[in-house]
């Protein structure tokens, strides 16, 4: 028997135990071990019941995702789960940690489920662009009502043990050792002489109005999960459970699953699953380098960013001292934080006492000396080099030796900021995204002199506050904003060429961006980009059309949502309303500047914005600003609303084909302003070689390592 699965006896109860770190994923060894264990137990004399549990931190956390690309070696999921379900004596799953995907499907194939009170059950397959492919779509609606089953899988969110008990999925919930609890449960079954209770033999629950229910869910999915195929396919699979006998239902599930696994949507989402874990591995950084502890935080600037960052740390139980120049700024900042927490309380996601605990962790102060004990101080004032330098000089004087000083700059040269201190090795960029307490991305900027343990601490503190930390090197805008620049430049130019803001944003949103870029500017404040451009005016192209719409809106004070109008007008609920005055103004300006009136359509808008962004991404890779193409994908999907199901800009580029993108860029060079359309040498090289960013990354090994 494969050693990852062992069998032992406790009296007349057999204990089957999976031990396959880190998360007991159901790989080939686990499948083979389970099948063998259950086949042997079938004929073993004197076994009255079986408990199936896991060692380590969790019950099986799913199929082995790596196998989806390499193919599933036998035995397959159905074979293994049938061996469990066929058992002639009752099988009790002992669930702790997270029973996810194939793990939950194992639990569903068991005859009874005993859960630890901290356990969670979930089928998150849609986050991977697939459906539960080990019987989950057929068994779950036989254990809990149909609509609850659909909602659980559509949400991809695991449900807590108590809810599982309430719905009838878990037969018992225990605190303490779940294996003991399941054993006691199994003994009781044995004492009663209970037989197996096979899920497959039960009827689907709550299927009376199934046709209407599926119609409603399909309409809902078409609206909320646009451009995706797996959610609709999921509904087809669950509907098969209602319409077909179990075995035929499994066949339907299997056919749908086989179609989805190799499709682009699933490949893109798998790519991100691994990319989000890969970002933690920094080539060239020794595993011996240990992080410095972050137990006390300092923040400079009580504005939107400073407040949001403070909340991240308070949520993680870390005390925060917030310094600002005036009492009014501190009061306003603290009031905003409280209001944000109150909103969570009103939504029910936070208890009032938790809010109070978190507020107590925040100490406002007017005195920089109050930051003297902090382990990490993050400067979060607006983008102005002179101001940041002044603050860093002050911090250098008060912050204790060994503390780290971070800057939340989104564009500025961190080497220049660090140079005003006597300890540039303790300085690092920590670029949060607004709203900082919500957005999952943290861009970690490794400046020229940042010490290795400071970089490791930055990665660790990202984890501490549940963010995905991605390392970049210093350049204007780092990874995210640098690529955003040409993307937005094209969107802006289209407005001068006769497109409306709705057409531009509509094209980007149709592609799948969470929000069109013009609506993003309105939300963030149209002045933000404008002020940043003023700071680097000397570096900008000599082109009167460059970001001209943005400049014109600024000149008129049409700064977006906060002004009630920007690219759009806004009602009191901040709903976008098209504004013909803006359209006229920008079209007239385009004509005045002799911009060709191309009236770009959806496809052209998408191609121009996205290919300009991808081309810049290729430059970032050449320059070593981003370590990996997949890091760029993580930045864009977790910080910029790029659709996850397209895998991020660089993965998307590979799916389009670099040759096709390269040729389109050459065409844009011929037909648009050539100064913006020089293919990046890396893109050109890969396109001409018929290669891809993924292949380039795979062949690179440790090149591009952080030099420490």
Rounded distance, CA 139 to CA 673, Å? 59
Task: Answer for the pair 294, 375: CB distance below 8 angstroms, yes or no.
Answer: yes
Rounded distance, CA 615 to CA 640, Å? 17
Near ligand CAA by CB under 6 A: residue from 32, 110, 134, 403: 134
Only one of the segments 61-69, 285-293, 486-494, 574-582 lies at the binding site for ligand CAA (rule: CB under 6 A); that segment is 61-69
- Binding of ligand CAA by 66 (CB under 6 A): yes
Rounded distance, CA 290 to CA 288, Å? 6
Near ligand CAA by CB under 6 A: residue from 13, 14, 25, 183: 25
| CB of 66 vs ligand CAA, minimal distance in Å | 5
**Which CB sits closer to ligand CAA, 108 or 508?**
108
Near ligand CAA by CB under 6 A: residue from 18, 63, 458, 627: 63
**Which CB sits closer to ligand CAA, 130 or 186?**
130
- The site for ligand CAA, by CB under 6 A, has a size of 23
Only one of the segments 18-26, 44-52, 427-435, 609-617 lies at the binding site for ligand CAA (rule: CB under 6 A); that segment is 18-26
**Which CB sits closer to ligand CAA, 69 or 584?**
69
Alpha-carbon 62 to chain mean position: 18
Residue ranges in 277-296 that form contacts with ligand CAA under rule CB under 6 A: 277
**Which CB sits closer to ligand CAA, 269 or 412?**
269
**Which CB sits closer to ligand CAA, 287 or 539?**
287
**Strand locations in 184-232, DSSP E?**
none
Cα angle: 396, vertex 400, 406; to 5 degrees: 55
Q: Is 604 a catalytic residue?
A: no
- Binding of ligand CAA by 462 (CB under 6 A): no
Near ligand CAA by CB under 6 A: residue from 92, 95, 125, 607: 125
Render 129-169 in DSSP notation, one character per residue: TS---SSHHHHHHHHS-HHHHHHHHHH---EEHHHHHHHTS
**Which CB sits closer to ligand CAA, 132 or 333?**
132
Alpha-carbon 93 to chain mean position: 31
- The 159-160 sheet, strands edge to edge: 98-100, 120-122, 159-160
| CB of 254 vs ligand CAA, minimal distance in Å | 11
Near ligand CAA by CB under 6 A: residue from 16, 65, 240, 559: 65
CA distances from 206 to 147, 170, 290, 326 (A): 7, 18, 54, 61
Only one of the segments 64-72, 194-202, 222-230, 524-532 lies at the binding site for ligand CAA (rule: CB under 6 A); that segment is 64-72
- Binding of ligand CAA by 124 (CB under 6 A): yes
> Annotated catalytic residue: which of 85, 105, 490, 509?
105
Q: Left (φ > 0), alpha (ψ -120 to 50) or beta: where does 51 sit?
A: beta
- Binding of ligand CAA by 238 (CB under 6 A): no
Rounded distance, CA 448 to CA 550, Å? 33
**Which CB sits closer to ligand CAA, 102 or 590?**
102
Task: Answer for the pair 495, 508: CB distance below 8 angstroms, yes or no.
Answer: no
**Which CB sits closer to ligand CAA, 65 or 149?**
65
The CB density around residue 180, as the number of other CB atoms within 10 Å, is 14
Cβ-Cβ contacts under 8 Å for 648 (sequence gap 6 or more): 268, 271, 272, 275, 630, 632, 633, 634, 635, 636, 637, 642
Residue ranges in 88-117 that form contacts with ligand CAA under rule CB under 6 A: 98, 100-102, 105
Residue of 429, 449, 430 lying closest to 708 (CA atoms): 449
Only one of the segments 87-95, 129-137, 621-629, 648-656 lies at the binding site for ligand CAA (rule: CB under 6 A); that segment is 129-137
Rounded distance, CA 679 to CA 665, Å? 7
Q: Is 105 a catalytic residue?
A: yes
- Binding of ligand CAA by 81 (CB under 6 A): no
**Which CB sits closer to ligand CAA, 105 or 239?**
105
For residue 330, the 8-state DSSP code is: H
Near ligand CAA by CB under 6 A: residue from 3, 8, 22, 43: 22
- Binding of ligand CAA by 128 (CB under 6 A): yes
**Which CB sits closer to ligand CAA, 285 or 519?**
285
Near ligand CAA by CB under 6 A: residue from 23, 49, 152, 650: 23
**Which CB sits closer to ligand CAA, 261 or 299?**
261
Rounded distance, CA 365 to CA 363, Å? 7
Rounded distance, CA 15 to CA 34, Å? 12
Only one of the segments 133-141, 229-237, 283-291, 423-431 lies at the binding site for ligand CAA (rule: CB under 6 A); that segment is 133-141
Q: Left (φ > 0), alpha (ψ -120 to 50) or beta: where does 125 sit?
A: alpha
- Binding of ligand CAA by 430 (CB under 6 A): no
Q: 342-371 mask for ligand CAA (x: CB under 6 A)?
A: ------------------------------
CA dihedral 271, 276, 282, 286 (to 10 degrees): -120
> Annotated catalytic residue: which of 3, 39, 125, 166?
125
Rounded distance, CA 71 to CA 73, Å? 6
Between the two ends of the chain, the Cα-to-Cα distance in Å is 46
Which neighbouring-strand residues pair with 396? none
Cα angle: 47, vertex 49, 53; to 5 degrees: 115
Only one of the segments 43-51, 82-90, 130-138, 486-494 lies at the binding site for ligand CAA (rule: CB under 6 A); that segment is 130-138
Q: 260-279 mask for ligand CAA (x: CB under 6 A)?
A: -----------------x--
| CB of 130 vs ligand CAA, minimal distance in Å | 6
Only one of the segments 32-40, 60-68, 164-172, 449-457 lies at the binding site for ligand CAA (rule: CB under 6 A); that segment is 60-68
Near ligand CAA by CB under 6 A: residue from 16, 30, 31, 62: 62
Rounded distance, CA 154 to CA 123, Å? 9
Burial of 438 (0-12, 13-18, 19+ CB in 10 A): exposed
Q: Which helix (H) or strand (E) holds 424?
A: none
* Binding-site ranges for ligand CAA (CB under 6 A): 22-23, 25, 61-66, 77, 98, 100-102, 105, 124-125, 128, 132-134, 136, 277
Active site residues: 105, 125
């Amino acid at each position: 028997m494969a050693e990852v699965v062992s069998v032992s006896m406790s009296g007349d109860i057999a204990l089957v135990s999976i031990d396959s770190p880190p998360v007991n994923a159901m790989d080939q060894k686990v499948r083979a071990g389970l099948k063998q264990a259950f086949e042997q137990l079938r004929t073993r004399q004197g076994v009255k019941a079986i408990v199936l549990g896991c060692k380590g931190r969790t019950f099986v956390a799913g199929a082995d995702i790596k196998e989806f690309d390499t193919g599933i070696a036998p035995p397959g999921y159905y074979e293994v789960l049938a061996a469990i379900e066929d058992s002639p004596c009752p099988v009790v799953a002992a669930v702790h940690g997270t029973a996810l995907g194939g793990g939950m499907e194992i639990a569903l194939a068991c005859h009874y489920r005993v859960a630890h009170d901290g356990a969670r059950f979930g089928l998150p397959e849609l986050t991977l662009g697939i459906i539960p492919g080990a019987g989950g779509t057929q068994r779950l609606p036989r254990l809990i009502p149909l609509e609850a089953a659909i909602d659980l899988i559509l949400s991809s969110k695991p449900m807590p043990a108590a809810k599982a008990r309430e719905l009838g999925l878990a037969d018992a919930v225990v605190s303490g050792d779940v294996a003991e609890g399941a054993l006691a449960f199994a003994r009781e079954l044995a004492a009663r002489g209970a037989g197996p209770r096979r899920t497959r033999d039960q009827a689907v629950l709550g299927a009376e109005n199934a046709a209407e229910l599926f119609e409603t869910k399909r309409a809902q999915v078409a609206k909320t999960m646009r451009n995706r195929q797996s959610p609709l396919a999921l509904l087809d699979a669950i509907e098969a459970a209602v319409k077909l006998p179990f075995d035929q239902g499994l066949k339907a599930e299997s056919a749908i699953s086989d179609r989805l696994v190799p499709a682009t949507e699933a490949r893109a989402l798998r790519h991100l699953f691994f990319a989000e874990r890969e970002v933690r591995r920094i080539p060239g950084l020794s595993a011996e380098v240990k992080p410095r502890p972050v137990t006390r935080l300092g923040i400079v600037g009580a504005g939107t960013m400073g407040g949001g960052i403070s909340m991240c740390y308070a949520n993680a139980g870390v005390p925060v001292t917030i310094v600002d120049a005036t009492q009014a700024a501190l009061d306003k900042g603290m009031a905003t934080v409280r209001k944000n927490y109150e909103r969570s309380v009103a939504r029910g996601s936070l208890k009032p006492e938790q809010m109070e605990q978190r507020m107590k962790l925040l100490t406002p102060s007017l005195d920089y000396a109050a930051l003297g004990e902090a382990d990490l101080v993050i400067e979060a004032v607006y983008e102005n080099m002179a101001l940041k330098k002044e603050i860093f000089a002050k911090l250098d004087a008060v912050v204790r030796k060994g503390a780290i000083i971070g800057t939340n700059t989104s564009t500025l040269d961190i080497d220049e900021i660090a140079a005003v201190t006597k300890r540039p090795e303790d300085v690092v960029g920590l670029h949060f995204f607004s709203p900082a307490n919500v957005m999952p991305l943290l861009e970690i900027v490794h400046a020229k002199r940042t010490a290795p343990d400071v970089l490791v601490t930055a990665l660790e503190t990202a984890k501490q506050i549940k963010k995905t930390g991605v390392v970049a090197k210093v350049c204007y805008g780092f990874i995210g904003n640098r690529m955003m620049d040409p993307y937005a430049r094209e969107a802006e130019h289209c407005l001068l060429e006769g497109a409306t803001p709705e057409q531009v944003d509509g094209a980007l949103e149709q592609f799948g961006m969470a929000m069109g870029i013009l609506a993003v500017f309105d939300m963030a404040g149209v002045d933000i980009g404008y002020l940043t451009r003023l700071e680097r005016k000397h570096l900008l192209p000599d082109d009167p059309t460059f970001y001209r719409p943005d400049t014109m809106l600024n000149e008129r004070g049409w700064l977006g949502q906060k002004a009630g109008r920007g690219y759009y007008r806004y009602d009191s609920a901040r709903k976008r309303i098209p504004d013909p005055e803006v359209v006229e103004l920008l079209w007239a300006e385009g004509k005045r500047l002799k911009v060709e009136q191309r009236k770009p359509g959806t496809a052209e808008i998408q191609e121009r914005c996205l290919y300009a962004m991808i081309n810049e991404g290729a430059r970032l890779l050449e320059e070593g600003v981003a370590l990996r193409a997949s890091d760029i994908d993580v930045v864009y999907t977790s910080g910029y609303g790029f659709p996850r199901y397209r895998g991020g800009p660089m993965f998307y580029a590979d799916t389009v084909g670099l040759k096709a993108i390269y040729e389109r860029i050459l065409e844009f060079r011929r037909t648009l302003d050539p100064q913006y359309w020089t293919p990046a040498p890396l893109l050109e090289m890969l396109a001409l070689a018929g290669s891809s960013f993924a292949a380039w990354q795979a062949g690179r090994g440790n090149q591009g390592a952080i030099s420490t």
